Amino acid sequence: MTAAMMVLVVLPALLAAAAVLDLISFRIPNAIPAAMIVLFLVFLLAALASGRAMSWNEAGWHVLAGTLGLLAGMALFAARWIGGGDAKLFAAASLWLGWDPLLEYALVASVLGGALTLALIALRRYPVPVLFTKQSWIVRLCDHEAGVPYGIALALGALAVLPGTDVFQIALQS
């Protein structure tokens, strides 16, 4: 699998899967962030094989971003502001995006998460239309006691920031 295929197809597919699964089940399976981490390691090898390797220094900054993302996610999870899957998704996405875009990613995801939260607050003011009452995921989404499927904002934020990253440039050059 080429570096371009990983960054332009597989990573976005994993992010989209995380968003959709969080929307319909309020859960992000551990397999998705785990696959993203393994895919990053494979990406490093593919980039090396293509002649456009990431330096050890650059790779270290990506690992630092992922580690900081994990620590931040764990703190938010401990405060009960996000779910465990969200924390792991944030860490895995941060690994891919790297150090330089980390703040931008956090800000974009926060703005998207705020917009999602406001939309859900507005949606939850109204009863679920009878047409949708047989769809358990829609009923759960409209439940006043339910949380916010923040994985949607995290995935969209990562997709928004990805084109400005070094891994994206490496993928385009491979």
User: Would you state the pLDDT for residue 49?
Assistant: 75
User: How many C-beta atoms surround the C-beta of residue 132 within 10 A?
Assistant: 13
pLDDT tens string 115-171 = 999 999 999 999 988 888 888 898 888 888 889 999 999 999 999 999 999 999 988
User: Would you state the pLDDT for residue 3?
Assistant: 82
User: Would you state the pLDDT for residue 48?
Assistant: 75
pLDDT tens string 43-101 = 988 877 766 778 888 889 999 999 999 999 999 999 998 999 999 999 999 999 999 99
HSE toward the beta carbon, residue 120, CA cutoff 13 A: 22
User: What are the angstrom distances between the C-alpha of 12 and each of 35, 121, 162?
Assistant: 12, 28, 9
Please state the domain extents for the chain: 3-173
DSSP for 87-153, written as a single string: HHHHHHHHHHH-STTHHHHHHHHHHHHHHHHHHHHHHTTSPPPGGGTT-HHHHHHT-TT----THHH
User: Would you state the pLDDT for residue 51?
Assistant: 66
Report whether pLDDT(33) > 90: yes
User: Would you state the pLDDT for residue 120?
Assistant: 93
